[in-house]
Amino acid sequence: MEPGETREPQEPREPGPGAETAAAPLWEEAKTFYDNLAPKKKPKSPKPQNAVTIAVSSRALFRMDEEQRIYTEQGVEEYVRYQLEHENEPFSPGPAFPFVKALEAVNRRLRELYPDSEDVFDIVLMTNNHAQVGVRLINSINHYDLFIERFCMTGGNSPICYLKAYHTNLYLSADAEKVREAIDEGIAAATIFSPSRDVAVSQSQLRVAFDGDAVLFSDESERIVKAHGLDRFFEHEKAHENKPLAQGPLKGFLEALGRLQKKFYSKGLRLECPIRTYLVTARSAASSGARALKTLRSWGLETDEALFLAGAPKGPLLEKIRPHIFFDDQMFHVAGAQEMGTVAAHVPYGVAQTPRRTAAAKQAPSAQ
């Protein structure tokens, strides 16, 4: 068209055959492109009463050895100053870190299958740190892309009183005295320890191993061994084979794991379930194993695997299982697990703990 010319208005044309069909894929492609540019929306935190709540201390989730040394040797003011000066430096992962990552992997699977359900793991950071330290903790959590929305920072006071308010199913801490306080309050709790060496664990399946007596079960049988010896214990277990043992401090946590497992089973995913549980006990199968299994059955519970070691060391078996965490009431079993690269947690419950309580009470306080 030459300059100065005008074009007569034309009637709009009808789109040719197939035009809409051709445009649709282009629109969907563009929408997908812009959706991928948008920040990913994190899932909504569940109500505490609907979830399986796992409370972890800051020293359980992250390595804070240098910070703890400053706290112990130089006091709280220097500790807070150091944390503020280093708040943009993320902490290194601590002993509970792989466990927490495995919990989040299970949550992703659960949300795929049950998008509207709040019956998932809810992780709470429970620490007696001061609020000023919270920025470094938040930065570290964001650095590792952890989904931890609930914090409880008590500014030097014990966080134990808040555990029931959060409907806590399990409390993990590096502070043995705080764990004992939680156990005394009827809350499942354990002192977590770093392994002596790093061992790769599953990225797709949460694996939790439990001792039996004084962990899942009461310490009834251990009291008999301590008072009367093994022969009497075997006689007692045989005579009471059909009488369920009383529950121990972590029975409720196994129950919660079993409830989540059944959500996968109901979808036909028993063999692909991302939660696997183990009973690893010093009991002998022939002489005292039946009562343990019948007790679990009476509770409507089960473990995926049951290993009766008849007094043999647990460390080598745990090295093969590679659990994210192993719970035991005996420190020598905890130490044996650590040596083989297992994250182990001590449950301070039952008759085996009595001699240690007085000495432990004299320990200096710690920053969690």
The H-or-E segment that residue 190 falls in is strand 189-193
Chain CA centroid to CA 71, Å: 27
Residue type, 238: K
**DSSP percent split of the chain into helix, strand, coil, nearest 5:** 45, 15, 40
- Could you tell me if 268 and 261 are in contact, meaning their C-beta atoms sit under 8 angstroms apart? no
Query: What are the angstrom distances between the C-alpha of 231 and each of 201, 228, 307?
Result: 39, 8, 21
Q: Which two tokens stand for residue 5?
A: 């010319």
Q: How far apart are CA 243 and CA 255, in angstroms?
A: 20
Q: How far apart are CA 162 and CA 165, in angstroms?
A: 5
What Rg, from alpha-carbon coordinates, does the chain have?
27
Which one, of 297, 217, 283, 281, lies nearest residue 250 by Cα?
Answer: 217
CA-closest candidate to residue 326, choices 192, 188, 186: 192
In whole angstroms, what separates CA 187 from the centre of its chain? Answer: 15
Please state, as a whole number, how many other Cβ atoms lie within 10 Å of the Cβ of residue 181: 19
Residues 6 or more apart whose CB falls under 8 angstroms from that of 327 comprise 190, 208, 209, 210, 211, 215, 250, 344, 345, 347
Residue 359 identity: A
Is 211 an annotated catalytic residue? yes
By three-state DSSP, how is residue 7 classified? Answer: coil
User: Helix 230-239 crosses helix 220-228 at what angle (to 10 degrees)?
Assistant: 140
Q: Which of 122, 175, 211, 219 is catalytic?
A: 211
In which residue are the tokens 């740190």 written? 129
State the amino acid at position 251 in one-letter form.
K
- Which of the residues are catalytic? 211
